[in-house]
Amino acid sequence: MTATGSPATLLSAQALEEQLRAVGEERYHHQHPFHRLMHEGKLTRGQLQAWAFNRYYYQKTIPIKDALILARSESPEFRRAWRKRIVDHDGEPGTPGGIEKWIRLAEATGVPRDLVISERGVLPAVRYAVDAYLTLVTKHSFVEAVASSLTEMFSKSLISLRMDRMVTHYPYLSSSLGYFESRLSQAPEDANFALNWVKQNAKTRAEQDAAISALRAKCDILWAQLDALYFAYVEPGWPPPGAFLPRSIEG
């Protein structure tokens, strides 16, 4: 039975995709007030520091998350497709990956590289949310693990908007947007593969529903990170004991 009490029949691939897209409309963090402020040019440099500094913890966890997913797959074909994500984030000798590009963005906000990498002062709530992502891809079914990556279906328009607004409102970041630049093409490719895989491999209605829930759970993980940032650095603006404090920029 579904939540509404009707008999649970298998969704068509198209209906499943529609339900997944509906989760994005409802819960993806493009709607979050922290992002709204960012795109309206209303964040201070210190608030952007806090954002870039904390989100590093998420960024550096991504290839670990992808390695955990890789480790669960029995299919060389799946693994061949999925390993690209690890390369994208970790880079290759001489070619910076997503993590390095994120560090450069954080540096451009005014946080020294060493402090970023030290993770000293990352908001506990950000840490817990990101770690919950690792739990999700480890302890839930493999279909759910893959489906949780589908937030990438929604990231392209958010990233396009962000790049545009950052150049306008935060010119000191304009030459450090390499991370987003790369994600513009990487994310849709990855999302496409994962979406097709979920459509083909969620073979029962229960598995389809679990995939939808996993995407919702992933949206919650992204949302909670921004809630924590907003609470600590915007309103009421109370970083917990030991948290990162924005640094003044020497002009």
CB of 226 to a second copy, least distance (A): 9
Residue with tokens 């991370």: 179
User: Do 116 and 56 touch, CB atoms closer than 8 A?
Assistant: yes
User: Do 222 and 28 touch, CB atoms closer than 8 A?
Assistant: yes
CB of 209 to a second copy, least distance (A): 15
Integer CA distances (angstroms), 54 to 61, 116, 205, 207, 228, in order: 12, 8, 37, 33, 10
Nearer to a second copy, 11 or 226 (CB): 226
CB of 186 to a second copy, least distance (A): 27
The one-letter code for the residue type at 116 is V
Using the Cα atoms of residue 157, residue 162, residue 39 and residue 226 in order, give the sign of their dihedral. positive
CB of 166 to a second copy, least distance (A): 24
d(CA 79, CA 188): 18
Backbone φ, ψ for residue 136 (5° rounding): -60, -45
Nearer to a second copy, 47 or 186 (CB): 47
The pairs formed by 113-119 with CB atoms below 8 angstroms and a separation of 24 or more are: 115/53, 115/244, 116/52, 116/53, 116/56, 117/56, 119/56, 119/57
Integer CA distances (angstroms), 153 to 31, 111, 184, 186, 219, in order: 15, 30, 11, 11, 12
CB of 240 to a second copy, least distance (A): 5
- C-alpha count within 13 angstroms, C-beta hemisphere, residue 89: 17
CB of 16 to a second copy, least distance (A): 20
Nearer to a second copy, 26 or 40 (CB): 26
CB of 96 to a second copy, least distance (A): 30
Binding region for a second copy (CB under 8 A): 26-27, 33, 124-125, 127-129, 131-132, 135, 216-217, 219-221, 223-224, 227-228, 230-232, 235-236, 238, 240-242
